[in-house]
Copies of this chain bind each other. A is one copy, B any other.
Amino acid sequence: MTQNIYDDPEFYEGYSRLQRSVEGLAGAPEWPALRALLPDLRGLNVVDLGCGYGWFCRWAREQGAARLLGLDVSEKMLARARAATSDAGVAYARADMEKLELPEASFDVAYSSLALHYIEDLAGFFATVHRALIPNGRLVFSIEHPIYMAPTHPRWLVGAEGHETWPLDAYLVEGPRTTDWLAKGVVKQHRTIGTTLNSLIRLGFAISHVEEWGPTDEQIKVKPEWARERERPMFLLVAAGR
């Protein structure tokens, strides 16, 4: 089973204080770019894979989605998600993304935000999602960018005059990466962009957009500290059609 770091008390405590946990979608700088990849959700059945506190599920219902199914491995997050809505159009359930089961041809849209880098068998996960989508259904997801995940020692290196670089190594060595982010021993699965895209293509998905996210000029004006995110991408956003 995928490591359920979200129910680790120390991790959960830290995670719940992140801007994206407190402010929801508005606190996630990549959200406008990810949202732009979604179709008009009115009347659609949507599954959110790694729904966390349910911010996306509630937003999607506001956009007119017919039904939302939010899945997550974390009981704590599901409890908060459930407490945040009384909307009968939103259902939450616990699911281990590593052995995901979904009804066939049941969803118009599958969405996932920053969850897939925890999955070991990503090809198996994509296969399940492919079966669960209707023909012409869409998959939209964000994942940590492999440049961000790859290094043996992920860190900024400050050079002369304060210029920062991101010392990359092991990019082509796929597999687990253990970091101490919010808690000790968080395990993520590093894969190249090529591997992720080819997994989708092999299943019959048509890649419709690939974006290595960086902040806009407007975002940097508001938060100058985001400028460094242009040195190396933190997130990879992908849209694909079934």
Where the two chains meet, the residues of A that have a C-beta atom closer than 8 Å to any C-beta of B are: 147, 151-152, 157, 159, 163-173, 192-194, 197-198, 201, 206-212, 214, 229-233
A167-B157, A167-B165, A201-B207 known; A194+B212 contact, CB < 8 A: yes
Query: Contact partner of A169 among B170, B206, B212, B232, CB < 8 A?
Result: B232
Find out whether the CB atom of A197 lies under 8 angstroms from the CB atom of B210.
Answer: yes
Find out whether the CB atom of B208 lies under 8 angstroms from the CB atom of A201.
Answer: yes
A198-B209, A210-B197 known; A169+B164 contact, CB < 8 A: yes
Find out whether the CB atom of B212 lies under 8 angstroms from the CB atom of A172.
Answer: yes
CB distance from A99 to the nearest CB of B (A): 27
Query: Contact partner of A201 among B198, B201, B209, CB < 8 A?
Result: B209
Name 12 A/B residue pairs within 8 A (Cβ), A-sorted. A164-B169, A165-B168, A165-B169, A166-B169, A171-B232, A172-B214, A172-B232, A192-B233, A194-B210, A194-B211, A197-B210, A201-B208
